[in-house]
Chains A and B, each alone.
Chain A
Amino acid sequence: EIVMTQSPATLSVSPGERATLSCRASQSVSSNLAWFQHKPGQAPRLLISGASTRATGIPARFSGSGSGTDFTLTINSLQSEDFAVYYCQQYNNWPRTFGQGTKVEIK
């Protein structure tokens, strides 16, 4: 099983600032990595597929990068609606594993 490790666990950011979230895989997942945003009481929302392709309707301030074992989600100019928990998920191998999540909170 591929273990996905996200860091940091919690990120405190002021509105308008940039947030940088990290996701590391225990072995290569090529570019088969997705990022999701999850808010309490809501369904998770797909942000990024293929490590760097934004899903339909996702604002350009969200960007993903990386391949192999190291990935980054960058959120530029954080808006109030961006404070949430973010998960990475690899889909290169079964089982499809999630990271433990990074909570982005208001500083």
Chain B
Amino acid sequence: EVQVLESGGGLVQPGGSLRLSCAASGLTFSTYGMSWVRQAPGKGLEWVFSISGSGGSTHYADSVKGRFTISRDNSKKSLYLQMNSLRVEDTALYYCAKDGDLGPGEYWGQGTLVTVSS
């Protein structure tokens, strides 16, 4: 059974940091790209960051440039998102998603909630 499980969310003050983790099981991990997608309260889905299967290539949304970094550990089938200099507008449910053979989003986790507030 395929499982994708995010963790690490919580309440943080503006300017603070959080590290999100995503653990995958039951699937081939190392050969597929992975992404973080977020959904702010009452809003739609927003793509945030992607990383290739090897980890050698990354792409990010302008809204997180210079503040967030993505990484992965294929030996642990895990994906990470380091979030620094957090802003109120980063408040969202953060989803981890695995690419498939034909495109993105083949498997998703249930999300982890990040709340940035003073």
The complex places the Cα of A13 from the Cα of B35 at a distance, in Å, of 33
**Cβ distance B5 to chain A, nearest Cβ, rounded Å:** 11
A100 contacts chain B at the CB level, 8 A cutoff:
yes
Structural contact, A42 and B44, CB atoms closer than 8 A: no
CA distance A95 to B109 in the complex (A): 21
Q: Give the total number of A-B pairs whose CB atoms are below 8 A apart.
A: 64
Min CB–CB distance A76 → chain B (angstroms): 22
A34–B45 touching, CB < 8 Å: no
> What does DSSP make chain A's interface, helix, strand, loop or mixed?
loop
Instruction: Mark the stretch among B8-16, B68-76, B77-85, B98-106 that contacts chain A.
Output: B98-106
Determine if A95 and B61 form an interchain contact, defined as CB atoms under 8 angstroms apart: yes
In the complex, are the beta carbons of B47 and A44 less than 8 A apart? no
In the complex, which range does the number of interface residues on chain B fall in?
A: 20 to 34
Besides the known contacts A44-B105, A49-B100, A94-B59, 10 further A-B residue pairs in the complex with CB atoms under 8 A apart: A32-B103, A34-B105, A36-B45, A43-B110, A44-B37, A46-B108, A95-B62, A98-B45, A99-B44, A100-B44
Can you offer 30 A-B residue contacts whose CB atoms are under 8 A? Answer: A1-B62, A34-B103, A34-B105, A36-B45, A43-B4, A44-B95, A44-B97, A44-B108, A45-B108, A46-B105, A49-B100, A50-B103, A55-B100, A55-B106, A85-B44, A89-B45, A94-B59, A95-B47, A95-B59, A95-B60, A95-B61, A96-B47, A96-B104, A97-B47, A98-B45, A98-B46, A98-B47, A99-B44, A100-B44, A101-B45
Chain A contact residues, CB within 8 Å of chain B: 1, 32, 34, 36, 38, 42-46, 49-50, 53, 55, 85, 87, 89, 91, 94-101
